[in-house]
């Protein structure tokens, strides 16, 4: 009995050694090499070199985390910013914008744990945040810093107006949702790039027969783009932009496309269990032929020569004009009341947002994204566009004014999540698209009425 | 002669079955350990062979993604405190319940056994709200307190089982000689309980260290993540990188296995002493 | 009783009771309250007070097909834990107690999966089951077989159960083994002399002698089965595929933190506790009746 060291003692000892081992230095953002300073910003110079201020810790949260291609630009700008403002320490917590991250941002706000600067959605997904009245409006900031968001186009600022009609966020880049195609696979099997429902189904059946996964999508994780595209094309632009109280037949037909496609074998065998990153890998490694995603996704595609983007081809009996796309700005940088009311932090927060949204910063985000995203400022480049970037530019140009923001941005978040979570069931026929839509629309309507 | 041969065949069969089960419990860890030293492409191609191009890349990758040492420190701090808290409160409560008769004893005992039914997710939302109101979010104590409460009932039941089974003579003698009840508890009961206390300690430590749920909810600031949260995040964000995932699993598993191998004799002793007789 | 003065009792018992009250019982009661409100966030935010909705959540609960799946799966899991975790634990313990060499090694090794976190095990099995290049499909490929989608709807539940069950066999094994070591060797020796076969000895000596231990194990296994969460969640988040692998725990988490339907999550949480109390009462009654 004596031999055996009481495990408690051991645990304590371990704890103690570890405590002694590491000081309690807060982990700071790991700055990637700041040498690649395409992201150079002039914000520091603009507001006069004033590193005389007292030490400030700025807590920031963004959705540029993990595998998001913007993450490296975001971090470079932070590194540059810290260099120019040695009195400011940036403590950044960024994560990929999944539901969990959204929920935790909201939870943090509700319990007073909000950051100083937040890069987040500006649409209906921010309704909860807006309701807390913890985000400072552009008007209020500009009263004190007239130069705030000076590079940002007014149309872009207007595009990120919150649901209550107030402008608070400064956007960087926007997005369009396009269908990426591995053109080499299409060529190999003598297929044309899809332009309508018929050519899409032809491509799907041909690929399926040849052991290529036709469409890379994870129905269990991110079927969002397909939901948007199917409803947009089935219902047409006007109906798509409205938020009806009960589901129109075209919306239902749109969602039923999931079942049609699944029955054709268009999705990966394990679409119900894998996640979005995984199917992205399938597409990039040419095991899958097509993937519908936002333009931000283009940055992560390595083969920019043989991958091209087209507008969503269409669905059966569509109402929308060919070439219509889901597109817009949906996120931006906010300053919270917490930082604004703290004299020490106010200046740092403003500088930080300006560094992240200046023309140079937006250009860097644009470049990192492969010159494909919508930009909130004027941007220019001397580089020749890759075939992929060119094809996206063509899609955007062809769409002209035939575009609208996603349903996601208009509907109550919980209601939309319910649709997303039902897609697997709709695709197998075990849930009725009509019921799912009706429930979600009713919930969304009741939430809006309650506000 | 005949019977001897029969027994031998039987013994061989027993060994075959036992070894087969042992393989299922060892093989997965060897597999993942082996693959953590391969680039992802090789894991997908040939996960059974030894690494062809041995690489530390997955580990350096994991370490560069986050401050893993810090996360270990957080985890050990949390689990260490939980362990001590549970041992202390459980043995005290068990002592009170076995050595005193009082009104409401039945209710307390019922409370203890009923709380075994409470899965942690049935209480987490209000606990989260309380922690946020007390300003304890992102602090280790926000994980420690609910975990102590969650482990307390099992631990108390083990301790009651043991305390009820030991004879009273030693306590009686000490008490008659003038020791007060706290001295009796500290000098006689605690040393007697060593074995079952270590059971309690080991299980509290393991359950606390391995519990992802409470950590994920209470610690929302990723610079303060304990190890499980951190590695779960790495693997959910970089889930297609098989090599990195194998390294992440290895990093969570190895410290626990080491602690376990050192302490495993106590587990068995402790369970004999406590849980079973209870 | 030995100790005359009653006041030290308070010091002994109070901290524990307080812990349980503050972190288990009061939150549970608050949960009951929450289940009657429509909450849009965990705590009430200025401008967004929760709205009273009566028993709407309970109505949903009884019509929600996913809840039905989750309850069925959890009940199935209870049966499986008793049969496989307790059963296998018992068999392995009897076998180990019958050998002389290597018993110590088996004891150590069988407990491995118990000490490993469910997170790590979940990640591990995700690597095993993966369709493209997972361990099992590599194995199939080396025999020239087509890859199998191990998590397809028909297989998913079993494939999720296997690691969940496997990982806890060692726990019951160790408890059984210690129980077995308490049975005196004399009884077996006497049985040997009487010509009773080893096999019969298990039925006529071991099982009856181990009755209390087995009952403890069954109770632990049943309550444990209701709490299953981490492993399925890490392996097949959101009850994938198609919600077929939802357990009560995962569905509650999904409703609460995936959909942000906090009030509905609370309602499910209450149901889990009610179910747990009912099941353990039934088991207790059954055990008592046997006596």
A70-84, A330-344, C220-234, C276-290: range with lowest mean pLDDT: C276-290
Are the CB atoms for A121 and C34 separated by under 8 Å? no
Specify the higher pLDDT residue, A186 or B268.
A186
Q: Does C20 touch chain B (CB under 8 A)?
A: yes
- The CATH number of domain A44-174+329-368, selected from 3.40.190.10, 3.40.50.970, 3.90.1150.10, 3.40.50.620: 3.40.190.10
- Hey, which chains touch B, using 3+ CB pairs under 8 Å? A, C
Inter-chain residue contact C118 with B267, CB threshold 8 Å: no
3-state secondary structure of C133: coil
Contact A91 B202 (CB under 8 A): no
Model confidence pLDDT, tens digit, residues A403-441: 888 998 888 888 998 999 899 999 999 899 999 999 999
Tell me if residue B117 falls in helix, strand or coil: coil
For residue C241, cis peptide bond before it (omega within 30 degrees of 0): yes
- The Cα–Cα gap between C91 and C173 comes to 8
Q: Quick one: average pLDDT of A19-44?
A: 36
Lowest mean pLDDT among A83-92, A99-108, C74-83: A99-108
Cβ contact C131–A430 (<8 Å): no
**Partner-chain contact C43 A111, CB within 8 Å:** yes
Q: Which residues contact C98 (CB under 8 A, 6 or more apart)?
A: B11, B14, C198
Average pLDDT of chain C is 86
Bridge-based pairing state of the strands C51-52 and C37-38: antiparallel
Residues B135-140, mean pLDDT to the nearest whole number:
85
In this complex, do A428 and C47 lie within 8 Å of one another by their Cβ atoms?
Answer: no
Cross-chain residue pair A268–C152, CB shorter than 8 Å: no
Radius of gyration of chain B (CA): 24
CB contact under 8 A, B181 and C3: yes
Counting DSSP H helices and E strands in chain A, the numbers are 19, 10
Q: Where are the domains of chain A?
A: 44-174+329-368, 175-328+385-450
- CA A54 from centroid of its chain's CA atoms: 35
pLDDT at site B3: 52
Phi, psi of A176 (to 5 degrees): -130, 155
Collect all residues of chain B within an 8 Å Cβ-Cβ radius of residue A96: 237
Instruction: Write out pLDDT tens, residues C98-138.
Output: 888 888 889 889 988 988 888 888 888 988 998 887 889 99
The whole-number pLDDT of residue A148 equals: 93
Q: What percent of chain C has pLDDT over 90?
A: 31
Task: Give the pLDDT band of residue B237 (cuts 50, 70, 90).
Answer: low
Q: pLDDT higher for C36 or C262?
A: C36
Q: pLDDT grade, residue B138 (50/70/90)?
A: confident
Contact (CB<8Å) C51/A430: no
Predicted confidence (pLDDT) at residue A216 exceeds the cutoff of 90 = yes
| Average pLDDT, integer, range A122-126 | 82
Homologous superfamily of C53-290 in CATH? MetI-like (1.10.3720.10)
Q: Which of A272, A273, A413 sits opposite C260 (nearest CB)?
A: A413
Decide: C24 and B150 in contact? Cβ < 8 Å: yes
d(CA C210, CA C208): 5
Q: Which helix (H) or strand (E) covers residue A271, if one does?
A: none
**For chain A, percent of residues with pLDDT exceeding 70:** 86
DSSP string, A207-251: HHHTT-EEE---TTT--HHHHHHHHHHHH-HHHHHS--SS--HHH
Q: How confident is the model at residue B113 (pLDDT cuts 50, 70, 90)?
A: confident
Q: Are strands A117-121 and A56-62 parallel, antiparallel or unpaired?
A: parallel
Q: What is the pLDDT of residues A1-21, one digit of tens each?
A: 333 333 333 333 333 333 333
Q: What pLDDT, on a 0 to 100 scale, did the predictor assign at position B7?
A: 62
Chain C (167-226) residues lying within 8 Å, Cβ to Cβ, of chain A: none
CB atoms within 10 A of CB A12: 15
pLDDT for B82 beyond 90: yes
Q: Is the confidence at residue C68, as pLDDT, over 90? A: yes
Across A238-251, average pLDDT = 92
| Average pLDDT, integer, range C47-57 | 80
What is the spatial distance between Cα C220 and Cα C216, in angstroms, rounded to a whole number? 6
Q: What are phi and psi of C183, to 5 degrees?
A: -80, 130
pLDDT reported for residue B248: 85
Place of tokens 């050595």: B99
Query: Euclidean distance between the first and final Cα of chain A, in Å?
Result: 66
Both structure tokens of A46: 């603009």
Q: What is the rounded CA–CA span in Å between residue A415 and residue A446?
A: 10
Inter-residue contact A345 to A152 (CB < 8 Å)? no
Q: In the numeric block, which tokens belong to residue A252?
A: 């239902």
> CA nearest B92 in C: which residue?
C12
Give the nearest chain C residue to A412 (CA atoms).
C40
d(CA A407, CA A400): 20
Distance from CA of C67 to the nearest CA of A (A): 14
How far lies A139's CA from each of A229, B77, B274, in Å?
Answer: 35, 46, 68
Query: For an interface test with A, which of C131, C133, C160 has the most A Cβ atoms less than 10 Å from its Cβ?
Result: C131
How far apart, in whole angstroms, are the C-alpha atoms of residue B135 and residue B129? 10
List the single residue in C20, C182, C262 with the smallest CB-CB distance to B149: C20
Interface test with B, best of A11, A58, A75, A114 (most B CBs within 10 A): A11
Set of chain A residues whose Cβ sits within 8 Å of the Cβ of C51: 450
Chain B hits for A75, Cβ within 8 Å: none
Mean pLDDT confidence for A210-223:
92
* β-sheet bridge partners, residue A333: A119, A170
Pairwise CA distance, residues B31 & C138, whole Å: 13
Name every chain A residue with its beta carbon within 8 A of the beta carbon of C47.
Answer: 131-133
Cβ–Cβ below 8 Å for C269 and B119: yes
Q: What is the mean pLDDT of chain A?
A: 83
Domains A44-174+329-368 and A175-328+385-450 share a fold: yes
Q: pLDDT tier at C41 (50, 70, 90 boundaries)?
A: low
Per-residue pLDDT tens for C20-39?
A: 999 999 999 998 998 998 87
Minimal-distance CA residue of chain A relative to B83: A8
Yes or no, beta carbons of C152 and A269 under 8 Å apart: yes
Contact list in B for residue A277 (CB cut-off 8 A) is 237-240
Residue C8 scores a pLDDT above 60: yes
Residues in chain A with CB shorter than 8 Å from the CB of B204 are: none
Q: What percent of chain C has a predicted confidence (pLDDT) above 70?
A: 95
Using an 8 Å CB-CB cutoff, list chain B residues near A113.
Answer: 132, 137-138, 220
Taking CB atoms and an 8 Å cutoff, what residues of chain B touch C110? 21-22, 25
Q: How far is A55 from chain C (nearest CA, A)?
A: 32
**How would residue A353 be classed by pLDDT, with cut points 50, 70 and 90?**
very high
Rounded distance, CA B267 to CA C91, Å? Answer: 20
Tell which wins on pLDDT, C62 or B196. Answer: C62
Count CB atoms within 10 A of the CB of residue B265. 15
Among the partner-chain residues A15, A66, A95, the one whose CB lies closest to the CB of B77 is A15
**Nearest chain C alpha carbon to B118:** C273
For B44-70, write each residue's pLDDT tens digit: 777 888 888 888 998 998 888 778 888
Lowest mean pLDDT among A223-232, B58-67, C88-97: B58-67
Cα(C167)–Cα(A92) distance, integer angstroms: 37
- Please name every residue paired with A117 in a beta bridge, in sequence order, or none if there are none: A60, A335
d(CA C28, CA C17): 15
Which residues partner with B203 through β-bridges? none
A142-153 tens-digit pLDDT: 999 999 988 998
pLDDT in tens, A246-288: 999 999 999 999 999 999 999 998 888 888 888 888 898 899 9
Whole-angstrom distance, CA of residue A288 vs CA of residue A282: 6
CA closest to C274 among chain B residues:
B117
**pLDDT range class, residue A399, cuts 50, 70, 90:** confident
Which runs of consecutive H residues, i.e. helices, occur in A264-335? 276-284
The answer to whether residues A44 and A85 touch, using CB atoms and an 8 Å cutoff, is: yes
Measured at the alpha carbon of residue A200, what is the angle toward residues A199 and A202, in degrees to the nearest 5?
65
- The CA-to-CA distance between both ends of chain B, in Å, stands at 44
> Does the pLDDT at position C224 exceed 80?
yes
Chains touching C (3+ CB pairs < 8 Å): A, B
Domain A175-328+385-450: CATH superfamily, name plus number: Periplasmic binding protein-like II (3.40.190.10)
Stretch A94-108: mean pLDDT, rounded? 73
Cβ of A447 and C40 within 8 Å? yes
pLDDT at residue number A193:
94
**Where does the pLDDT of residue A28 fall: very low under 50, low under 70, confident under 90, or very high at 90 and above?**
very low
Domain ranges of chain C: 53-290
């Amino acid at each position: 009995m004596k031999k055996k060291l009481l495990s408690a003692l051991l645990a304590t000892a371990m704890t103690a050694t570890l405590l002694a081992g590491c000081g309690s230095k807060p982990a700071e953002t790991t700055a990637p090499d700041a040498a690649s300073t395409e992201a150079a910003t002039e914000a520091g110079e603009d507001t006069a070199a004033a590193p005389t201020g007292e030490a400030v810790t700025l807590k920031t949260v963004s959705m540029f985390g993990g595998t998001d291609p913007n993450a490296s630009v975001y971090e470079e700008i932070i590194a540059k910013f810290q260099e120019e403002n040695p009195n400011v320490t940036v403590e950044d917590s960024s994560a990929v914008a999944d539901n969990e991250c959204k929920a935790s941002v909201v939870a943090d706000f509700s319990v007073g744990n909000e950051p100083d600067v937040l890069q987040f959605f500006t649409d209906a997904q921010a309704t909860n945040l807006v309701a807390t009245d913890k985000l400072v409006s552009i008007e209020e900031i500009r009263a004190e810093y007239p130069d705030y968001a000076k590079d940002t186009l007014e149309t872009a600022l207007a595009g990120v107006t919150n649901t209550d009609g107030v402008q608070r966020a400064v956007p960087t880049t926007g997005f369009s949702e396009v269908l990426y195609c591995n053109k080499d696979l299409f060529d190999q099997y003598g297929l044309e790039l899809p332009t309508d429902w018929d050519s899409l189904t032809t491509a799907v059946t041909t690929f399926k027969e040849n052991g290529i996964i036709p469409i890379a999508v994870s129905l269990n994780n991110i079927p969002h783009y397909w939901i948007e595209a199917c409803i947009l094309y089935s219902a047409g632009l006007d109906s798509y932009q409205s938020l009806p109280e009960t589901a129109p037949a075209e919306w239902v037909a749109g969602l039923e496309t999931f079942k049609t496609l699944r029955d054709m074998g268009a999705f990966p065998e394990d679409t119900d269990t894998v996640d979005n990153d995984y199917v992205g890998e399938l597409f990039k490694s040419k095991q899958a032929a097509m993937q519908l995603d936002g333009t931000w996704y283009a940055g992560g595609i390595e083969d920019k020569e043989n991958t091209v983007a087209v507008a969503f081809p269409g669905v059966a009996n569509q109402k929308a004009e060919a070439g219509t796309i889901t597109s817009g700005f949906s996120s931006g940088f906010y300053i919270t009341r917490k930082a604004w009311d703290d004299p020490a932090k106010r200046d740092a927060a403003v500088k930080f947002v300006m560094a992240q949204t200046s023309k140079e910063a937006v250009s860097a985000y644009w470049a990192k994204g492969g010159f494909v995203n919508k930009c909130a400022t004027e941007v220019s480049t001397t580089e020749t566009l890759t075939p992929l970037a060119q094809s996206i530019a063509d899609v955007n140009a062809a769409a002209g004014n035939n575009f609208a923001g996603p349903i996601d941005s208009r509907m109550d978040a919980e209601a939309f999540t319910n649709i997303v979570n039902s897609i697997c069931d709709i695709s197998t026929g075990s849930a009725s698209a009509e019921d799912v839509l009706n429930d979600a629309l009713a919930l969304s309507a009741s939430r809006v009425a309650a506000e | 002669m005949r019977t001897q041969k029969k027994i031998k065949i039987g013994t061989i069969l027993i060994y075959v079955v036992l070894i087969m089960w042992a393989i299922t419990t060892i093989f997965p860890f060897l597999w993942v350990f082996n693959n953590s030293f391969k680039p992802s492409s090789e894991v997908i191609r040939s996960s059974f062979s030894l690494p062809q191009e041995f690489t530390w890349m997955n580990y350096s990758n994991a370490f560069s993604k986050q401050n893993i040492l810090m996360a270990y420190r957080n985890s050990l701090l949390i689990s260490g405190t939980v362990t001590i808290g549970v041992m202390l409160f459980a043995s005290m409560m068990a002592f009170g319940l076995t050595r005193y008769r009082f009104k409401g004893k039945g209710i307390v005992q019922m409370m203890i056994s009923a709380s075994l039914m409470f899965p942690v997710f049935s209480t987490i939302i209000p606990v989260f709200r309380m922690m946020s109101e007390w300003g304890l979010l992102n602090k280790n104590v926000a994980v420690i307190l609910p975990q102590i409460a969650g482990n307390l009932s099992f631990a108390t039941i083990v301790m009651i089982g043991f305390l009820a089974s030991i004879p009273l003579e030693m306590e009686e003698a000490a008490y008659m000689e003038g020791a007060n009840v706290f001295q009796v508890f500290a000098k006689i009961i605690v040393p007697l309980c060593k074995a079952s206390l270590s059971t309690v300690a080991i299980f509290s430590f393991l359950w606390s260290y391995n519990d992802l749920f409470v950590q994920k909810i209470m610690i929302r600031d990723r610079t303060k993540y304990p190890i499980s949260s951190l590695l779960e995040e790495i693997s959910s964000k970089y889930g297609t990188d098989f090599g990195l995932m194998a390294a992440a699993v290895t990093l969570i598993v190895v410290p626990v296995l080491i602690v376990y191998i050192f302490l495993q004799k106590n587990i068995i002793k402790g369970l004999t002493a406590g849980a079973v007789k209870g | 009783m030995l100790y005359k003065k009653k006041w030290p009792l308070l010091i002994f018992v109070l901290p524990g009771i307080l812990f349980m009250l503050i972190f288990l019982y009061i939150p549970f009661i608050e949960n009951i309250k929450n289940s009657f409100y429509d909450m849009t966030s965990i705590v009430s935010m200025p401008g967004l007070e929760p709205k009273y909705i009566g028993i709407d959540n309970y109505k949903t609960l009884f019509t929600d097909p996913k809840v039905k799946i989750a309850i069925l799966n959890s009940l199935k899991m209870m049966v499986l834990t008793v049969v496989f975790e307790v059963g296998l634990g018992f068999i392995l313990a009897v076998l180990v107690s019958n050998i002389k060499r290597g018993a110590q090694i088996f004891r150590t090794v069988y407990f491995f999966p118990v000490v490993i976190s469910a997170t790590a095990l979940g990640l591990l099995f995700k690597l095993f089951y993966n369709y493209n290049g997972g361990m099992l499909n590599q194995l199939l490929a080396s025999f020239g077989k087509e890859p199998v989608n191990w998590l397809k709807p028909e297989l998913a539940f079993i494939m999720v159960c296997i690691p969940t069950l496997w990982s806890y066999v060692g726990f019951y094994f160790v408890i059984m083994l210690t129980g077995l070591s308490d049975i005196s060797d004399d009884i077996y020796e006497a049985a040997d002399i009487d010509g009773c076969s080893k096999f019969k000895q298990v039925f006529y000596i071991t099982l009856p002698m181990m009755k209390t231990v087995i009952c403890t194990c069954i109770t632990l296994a049943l309550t444990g089965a209701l709490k299953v969460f981490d492993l399925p969640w890490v392996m097949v988040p959101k009850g994938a595929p198609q919600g077929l692998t939802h357990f009560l725990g995962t569905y509650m988490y999904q409703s609460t933190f995936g959909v942000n339907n906090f009030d509905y999550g609370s309602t499910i949480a209450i149901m889990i506790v009610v179910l747990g109390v009912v099941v353990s009462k039934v088991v207790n009654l059954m055990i008592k009746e046997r006596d």
